[in-house]
Structure 1
Amino acid sequence: MTDAAAPLSTLPEATRAAVRALLLAELTAAGRRARAAGCPPDVLTSVFDARSRSLEDGC
């Protein structure tokens, strides 16, 4: 089993900024791929919402 990730508030600002930039780039790329595959934006949003909820619930 792995250790839990450090709370975001304990990470240095430069690290938090890098994580935000990386996540934004990944979400933007995922959106482009979904549109290229003909996936409607609301479907992609639903997938991200479901994934966020599962992460918040600890699944």
Structure 2
Amino acid sequence: MKHGVAFRKFSRTSSHRMLMLRNLVTSLFEHEQISTTLPKARDTARLAEKVGPLILGLHAV
């Protein structure tokens, strides 16, 4: 069991990895559906759960 490991590396640098996940989350909220690999989808879903209320709160104002 891997304790304290938040996200997968995807053979990318940390900045490239976070940009990729941010783009996937943005596409998910814009189109409500994306097609990607299962590991990327799992990490994207985890990140979307964290930022979802923030994004939805901005659009409600």
TM-score by structure 2 length? Answer: 0.34
Higher helix share: 1
Structure possessing the higher relative contact order (Cα contacts under 8 Å, 6 or more residues apart) = 2
